């Protein structure tokens, strides 16, 4: 995640706060994951990389 700047992290933290945090998982989300917070989809980020490594955990 080092490709994002500190300013980007601050901006996203401020953007995804307050009333943008959902009280529970929306019914249209199909996942068994249980994160600490839920958000409505509002952005699409493209991540490019030269190499990808297989993780034994994820």
Q: Above pLDDT 90, what percent of the chain?
A: 16
pLDDT at 51: 77
| Number of domain units in the chain | 1
Kindly state the average pLDDT of the residues 8-27.
90
Segment 27-56 mean pLDDT: 84
Q: Give the chain's radius of gyration (CA, Å).
A: 14
Mean pLDDT to the nearest integer, 38-58: 81
Supply the pTM of this predicted model: 0.57
pLDDT exceeds 90 at position 47: no
Whether residue 37 contacts residue 19, with contact meaning beta carbons closer than 8 Å, is answered with no
Range of the domain at 11: 1-58
Q: Which residues are CB-neighbours of 49 under 8 A, at least 6 positions away?
A: none
Say if strands 38-39 and 21-22 run parallel, antiparallel, or are unpaired: antiparallel
Q: Rounded distance, CA 4 to CA 11, Å?
A: 11
């Amino acid at each position: 995640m080092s490709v994002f700047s500190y300013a980007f992290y601050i901006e996203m933290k401020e953007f995804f706060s307050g009333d943008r945090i959902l009280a529970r998982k929306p019914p249209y989300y199909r996942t068994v994951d249980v994160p600490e917070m839920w958000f409505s989809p509002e952005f699409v980020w493209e991540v490019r990389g030269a190499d990808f490594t297989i993780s034994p955990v994820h």
